Structure 1
Amino acid sequence: MTAASAGTAPAWQPGDVPAAMVDLLYRQSNAVLFANFVIALPVLYVLRPSVPMPMLAGWMAAVYLLTTLRIGLSWRYFRHGGDGSPQAWARRFMVLSWLSSLLWGAVGSSILLPPEPQLVAFCCIVLAGMSSGAIPSLSAHPATYRGSVAAMLLPFTIYCLVQQGPVYGVYAGFAGCLLCVNIYYSQVTYRTLRDGVRLRFENLALIGELERERDRATAADRAKTRFLAAAGHDLRQPAYAIGLQAASLLTLGERGDVAGSQAHAIGRRLQSTLARMDNLLDGLLDASRLDAGVMPVHRRPLQLARLLADVRDEYAEPARQRGSVLRVVPVRAWIDSDPDLLKRILDNLVGNALRHAPRASILVGARRRGAAMEIQVIDTGPGIAPAQQARVFDEYAQVPGTATASDDQAGAKGLGLGLAIVRRLAALLGHTVTLRSAPGRGCVFSVRVPLAATAAAPAPAAAPPRPATAGDTLCVMLVDDDPQVLGALTELLTLWGHVVYGGRTVAAVCDAHRAAAQDAAAPVHLILADYRLAEDLTGIAAVGMLRAYLDRAVPALIVTGDTAPDRLQVLHDSGFPVLHKPIHGEALRAALHRAVQPAAVA
């Protein structure tokens, strides 16, 4: 079906207003073409007694011929969908319209119009109707209408001016005023049509943008639905394992004293299970930090060989356990990046290769690319199909067929955030990440990092931080509205030899401190507060209240399980050190002593 038969407009772009106006010119010309066919008949009938018939017949044949040519031009335009230059189509239409209007102008000239008042009045009415009726049809192209109305009315105006008698002067004045008024209203109509076309384009662009946003929101909603299902499963697996291990420990305790070897074995398994859960939760935390814009970037010259050596030392044993061969090629170069964030990118890439390419060869190296180094992680695993490659960097995306049975059994499949975090960290650093892969031929992930202008100067030897030991006694104000967490933290801190003034509210913590102060000195070295407390109180506010109670700025730590970007931004802006749940014992011990190192510990 052609465009003309379908009656559909071409798919104009927002910048094609002139082309759309030409299209509108052709589409609105039907009325004026119909008028040319119909009105010629009464003109012939009225003028027949006063004008020679051959002249009238020739005029009418010329009108019909030009009208037929104009219809044919419109048919060609719609047949070809407006292909070609819009200006060329407008010129063709304009020339034929002017010629047709000259024929109508001949009706009001001495060529066809005899000096009879009633016939002059009839011609004035015909020309007024034709020129005024053409405004909606021809105003989409102002030059076409202005030429047409001038060709119609100027001959009649000149004719009336050369005739004798006041009535002809009235006709001439009327024709001149009609010419000016029609041109004015044609310009107004043109502006209205042009603004309407622009508004249509803006609406279409807005609709398109809304549809794209809808599609993105729908895709994100589906992805998050899949993610929540995966997260529900993957987070339940370690929680289920922890519950079983805790039940084993309780059973051993019910039988009597637990042997140290048994308790140690169960503890190690618990730590391993918690580490699996941490890997899942760390991915969520990294994504939320990136969303909140609180991921700090500290770029500096970095020795690439040292970075690659760290990767080799960390992943050699996990690769061996999975039956893979990891080879790291040392490269002597200094690059400009954030060592922690770039290491996290490489951790995700190498970890991804270990998960999805078991018993494969993995090569980590770098190539010089102009003023940059391209760090590459190459594996000989199953590869990724071209149709799936665009998805691997999407959040919550897990490419079908890339997970292994060992991943599922180990609970290491992840939540589909690793490569999404790689892409966003790379964007944060201004690095470029690319993927080349083919099914059955492995993958090549590349990170292009700029070379450093100069090598880093040797850092002055810093005094090693005083290690945290079990003998360091701290007096800690602990506020947490969860009774189980409060009890577990109090028990752990007490086992480490610390003094705890704990409570579920700020008032309860203050009461515990007052009670301790009645018996002996009760110093406070640190405030440890959960971020979310009862009655919509935040840990930041709780620290402020406890500092006001103590009348001094005691060091503080905020503990949170929140990953919402807005709350992470608030915590970042507070300036307090933040610990993210879950926290391992050694990490908590180190954080406590790191927080009080600037202060004097009694």
Structure 2
Amino acid sequence: MQSYLKAEGGGRQRDARTHDALVGLLYRQSYAVLFANLVIPAPVAYVLWGAVPDALLLGWVALIFALTLVRIGLSRRYFTAGTATLDTPAWTRSFTVLSWLSSALWGALGWFGFLPDAPHLLAFVCIVFTGMSCGAVPSLSAYPPAYAGSLVAMLAPFMLRCLLAGEAIYHVYLAFALCLIGANLYYSRITYRTLRESVRLRFENLALIGDLEQERDKAQAADRAKSRFLAAASHDLRQPIHALSLFVAALGAMAQRGDLRADEARGIADRLRAVVGNVSGLLNGLLDISRLDAGVVAVSREPVSLARLFDDLRHQYAAQAQERGLDWQVVGSRVWVDSDPVLLKRILDNLLSNAFRYTRHGRVLLGVRRRAGQVEIQVIDTGLGIAAEQQAVVFDEFVQLHTSGHDRDREQGLGLGLAIVRRTADLLGHEVKLHSRAGRGTRFSLRVPLAVPTVPAKPMPAASATRTALGIVVVDDERDVLDAVGRLLQVWGHRVYAGRSAQEARDVHAAALRTGQAPVHLIIADHHLGDGHNGVEAIGILQRHLGAAVPAIILTGDTSPQGLKDIAISGHRLLHKPVDSDDLEAAIDAASG
């Protein structure tokens, strides 16, 4: 209902603006009529001089001139008045009344200039009426009542004289006058519609230009923000990669000396995993934005227990709160909400991460307030706060507050957290609000509809600790990546058939078949392969070779929206590089289970 009223109100506003513009046209285009009113009376008086009483003729000319001067003054006042102070209906009425009065004076000519004894003068009067009535069509049609009234006022006296004359010839004049009225009213209507459509299109074009300028400004602002960010964030991405290369070099040097102990290897491996996780965290923000842009984020709404969700978040951030010396409070709630549990948790994760990141002392609070059929999940902190002039941009991509190009904390990520919050909330239909004061903390609120609780599901049986050996075909055109994935899978006990293309992997598997059984349970393929091929095509080739729709996993570093759409359409499971070993193992178990 509100959207209908809004649309209806917008329609009335557009109609009023169009009407105002047409009134402006009415005044601008009236100069031709005013010019005719100043020029034509003199020749008319000259032609009719002697056939009409002199006093009557001079009085008529004087009234025409006087009224025309009044109309000119009205037009000048209209154009000098500011548009903000214009009372459009009053100006319309004034113009219309004066037009009718002027036409009535011309109509008087049709009464006293009706001279049956001088047919040539009568014909002259008819010519004058035809010219004046037809010439007023483009000038007065911006407001049809002004023209219609003027036309009737001008021709009615002449038509009445024709009717009273009684002779057949004057009935013909009457018929011609009626035809003139009909034709002119028709053309006036067409002209009005043309003018109205022209004005409407002009406003639409102006609105479109305004929208395009806004979009251009937004795009330019986003481009500048990305450029500034990438210039500053290159350090953030280079640092962990630099550390990674040094750890690998140290590991190689220790292995070359032959004194690499198991505890040292585990320690370096843990540090390597931490560094890789750091890089993955930075890149996953970009991936989340790309997936939202591509529209491949699937929404699975269901009743979500806030008690269970809040309990998970309480434990998740307890260590971080203790490390930072912050008071971490979670106000429990037994309500259930209608949302996607994974996406809802992602939103709260981003909000809580921001709260802990920018709060140096005090507390972080997660709580709930009921709001008429909805609940408002609130994340409140006593941190640095957000200045009023910055609150409009914090939900944009690549925006980091409280940092500068020379004072950056890599743990603050890429400035995408709140952009992900906004887009994910829009996807779910949840409203996000921000209330903050610089130096006084911040409150983020998320409105979520209530839901009916569901019966708790029975716990799933514990997974077996024994890993099942699988036959896995691996395709990747990068030799180092192919060797790394193959070696990891072999360490896990799987049999691997690896190749840098689908054909090479197919040949490897075919060779294994010639020596005995070589079952294949899973295909793992990189998306971007050499010679313009991709993982979806490779999987199709291998499935045809195997004669079965073997489950498949696609690995990719492509975060473009179109690339994500293409993979989503294929229906294959997707993992993004760099891939954590735990995530790869879980995906293999899920795909082959």
TM-score by length of 2: 0.88
Q: 1:283 to 1:127 in 2, by over 3 A?
A: same
For residue 459 of structure 1, the aligned residue among 457, 460, 479 is 457
Separation (CA, whole Å) in 1 of partners of 2:115 and 2:525: 102
Q: Secondary structure at the match of 2:386?
A: coil
For residue 328 of structure 2, the aligned residue among 320, 326, 329 is 326
After superposition, residues 145-156 of structure 1 pair within 5 angstroms as 145-156=147-158
After superposition, residues 69-218 of structure 1 pair within 5 angstroms as 69-81=70-82, 86-110=88-112, 115-159=117-161, 175=177, 177-218=179-220
1:114: how far off?
A: 8.9
Separation (CA, whole Å) in 2 of partners of 1:181 and 1:452: 67
- 2:22 matches 1:21: yes
Residue matched to 1:474: 470
After superposition, residues 1-400 of structure 1 pair within 5 angstroms as 13=14, 16-81=17-82, 86-110=88-112, 115-159=117-161, 175=177, 177-229=179-231, 232-399=234-401
| Preserved contact between residue 52 and residue 113 of structure 2 (Cα < 8 Å) | no
Q: Secondary structure at the match of 2:299?
A: coil
Q: Secondary structure at the match of 1:391?
A: coil
Amino acid at match of 2:446: V
Percentage identity across paired residues of the two chains: 53
Q: Secondary structure at the match of 1:109?
A: helix
Deviations 1:290-339 (A, max 9, x none): 22333233333333222222112111212333343322233333333332
Separation (CA, whole Å) in 2 of partners of 1:114 and 1:58: 23
Residue matched to 2:8: none
Greater shift in the superposed pair: 76-85 or 329-338? 76-85
- 2:572 matches 1:576: yes
| Preserved contact between residue 292 and residue 569 of structure 1 (Cα < 8 Å) | yes
Separation (CA, whole Å) in 2 of partners of 1:481 and 1:321: 44
Amino acid at match of 2:458: P
Separation (CA, whole Å) in 2 of partners of 1:562 and 1:586: 21
Separation (CA, whole Å) in 2 of partners of 1:272 and 1:432: 35
Residue matched to 2:412: 413
1:445: how far off?
A: 1.0
1:535: how far off?
A: 2.7
Deviations 1:234-279 (A, max 9, x none): 3333222212222232333344422334333322221111111111
For residue 522 of structure 1, the aligned residue among 507, 518, 522 is 518
Separation (CA, whole Å) in 2 of partners of 1:97 and 1:468: 98
| Preserved contact between residue 395 and residue 417 of structure 1 (Cα < 8 Å) | yes
Residue matched to 2:434: 435
Separation (CA, whole Å) in 2 of partners of 1:491 and 1:571: 26
1:414: how far off?
A: 1.3
Q: Secondary structure at the match of 2:300?
A: coil
Residue matched to 1:600: none
| Preserved contact between residue 108 and residue 157 of structure 2 (Cα < 8 Å) | yes
Deviations 1:177-225 (A, max 9, x none): 5444434433333333233323323333333343334334334433444
Q: Secondary structure at the match of 2:451?
A: coil
For residue 590 of structure 1, the aligned residue among 568, 586, 591 is 586
Separation (CA, whole Å) in 2 of partners of 1:312 and 1:430: 25
Separation (CA, whole Å) in 2 of partners of 1:165 and 1:317: 110
Greater shift in the superposed pair: 134-143 or 206-215? 206-215
1:459: how far off?
A: 1.6
1:341: how far off?
A: 1.8
Q: Secondary structure at the match of 1:16?
A: helix
1:591: how far off?
A: 2.8
Q: Secondary structure at the match of 1:378?
A: strand
Separation (CA, whole Å) in 2 of partners of 1:60 and 1:372: 77
For residue 544 of structure 1, the aligned residue among 510, 516, 540 is 540
How large is the RMSD of aligned CA atoms in angstroms?
3.0
Q: 1:554 to 1:177 in 2, by over 3 A?
A: closer
Structure 2, gaps ≥5 residues long: 1-12
TM-score by length of 1: 0.87
Amino acid at match of 2:581: G
| Preserved contact between residue 347 and residue 424 of structure 2 (Cα < 8 Å) | yes
Residue matched to 2:553: 557
Q: 1:127 to 1:375 in 2, by over 3 A?
A: closer
1:438: how far off?
A: 0.6
| Preserved contact between residue 284 and residue 563 of structure 1 (Cα < 8 Å) | yes
Amino acid at match of 2:197: D
- 2:503 matches 1:501: no
| Preserved contact between residue 14 and residue 202 of structure 1 (Cα < 8 Å) | no
Greater shift in the superposed pair: 242-251 or 484-493? 242-251
Separation (CA, whole Å) in 2 of partners of 1:303 and 1:250: 49
1:504: how far off?
A: 0.7
Structure 1, gaps ≥5 residues long: 1-11, 598-602
Q: Secondary structure at the match of 1:308?
A: helix
Q: 1:14 to 1:256 in 2, by over 3 A?
A: farther
1:349: how far off?
A: 0.8
Separation (CA, whole Å) in 2 of partners of 1:185 and 1:211: 38
1:170: how far off?
A: 7.0
Q: 1:162 to 1:297 in 2, by over 3 A?
A: closer
